[in-house]
Amino acid sequence: MSTFNAVFALRSKRDGWQIASFQDDRTLPAEHYRIDEMGWHPGLGPQRKNIQVVSAKTRAVLLRRDGSRCQVCGVGDGEFYPEDSSRLAVITVGHLI
């Protein structure tokens, strides 16, 4: 595997790697990379569970609790957006606190 392919394979945000190249930081020489944050790799054992994923049960509880309405703007699931009456809203669970 070439160096480029190896680095590209490690750049997965899902695994937590942050690797800068000349495209990200113009102070780096071409074909040089800088590891800003190391993430998971197979030598560490089983991959960590992504704790940011909302389970189906939690999602259902939250949507029921909030009446399937956006907690920011108040639009309901399947309603038209007030500012764009051609688009229907689809409610999602955005993040965990």
Mean pLDDT for the stretch of residues 79-89: 88
- pTM for this structure? 0.42
Model pLDDT, residue 52: 67
Q: Which residues of 26-47 are buried (b: 16+ CB within 10 A; e: fewer)?
A: eeeeeeebeeeeebeeeeeeee
- In this predicted structure, the answer to whether residue 69 has a pLDDT above a threshold of 80 is yes
The continuous run of DSSP H or E covering 57 comes out as helix 56-65
Q: How confident is the model at residue 82 (pLDDT cuts 50, 70, 90)?
A: confident
Mean pLDDT for the stretch of residues 51-79: 86
Burial of 64 (0-12, 13-18, 19+ CB in 10 A): exposed
Model pLDDT, residue 29: 92
Q: Please, what is the average pLDDT of the chain? A: 78
Q: What is the pLDDT of residues 36-58, one digit of tens each?
A: 888 877 777 777 666 667 788 98
Q: What is the pLDDT of residues 14-41, one digit of tens each?
A: 677 888 888 888 999 988 988 888 887 7
Helix, coil or strand: residue 96: coil
CA-wise closest residue to 16 among 40, 34, 35, 36: 40
